[in-house]
Amino acid sequence: MKQFACGDVVPGCARTFTAPDDDGVLAAVAVHARDDHGLAAVPAPLVAQVRASIRTAA
C-alpha cells in the first residue's frame, strides 16, 4: 500500500491517504484538494510534490 500525508505538502493539513498504488493516492488527493483546499485542478508541480512524498506502507 502507498501512503501520503497532505501535511507534507500543505502545512497544517492533517489528512492522510492510503491506496494500493500512486495513482490511487493521487486520485484521492485530487478530490481532497478540490473539496478542502479549493483547487479545481492539481497543478503539475504539486502532483510531483505529492508523488515525491508518497511512502510505501506495509
Contact positions vs Zn ion (CB under 5 A): 6, 10, 13, 15
Would the CA dihedral through 34, 39, 41, 44 be positive or negative?
negative
* Nearer Cβ to Zn ion (10/25): 10
* Nearer Cβ to Zn ion (44/58): 44
Minimum Å distance from CB 6 to Zn ion? 3
Beta bridge partners of 3: 18, 55
Beta bridge partners of 18: 3
Minimum Å distance from CB 24 to Zn ion? 16
Please name the residue that has the C-alpha cell 491517504: 17
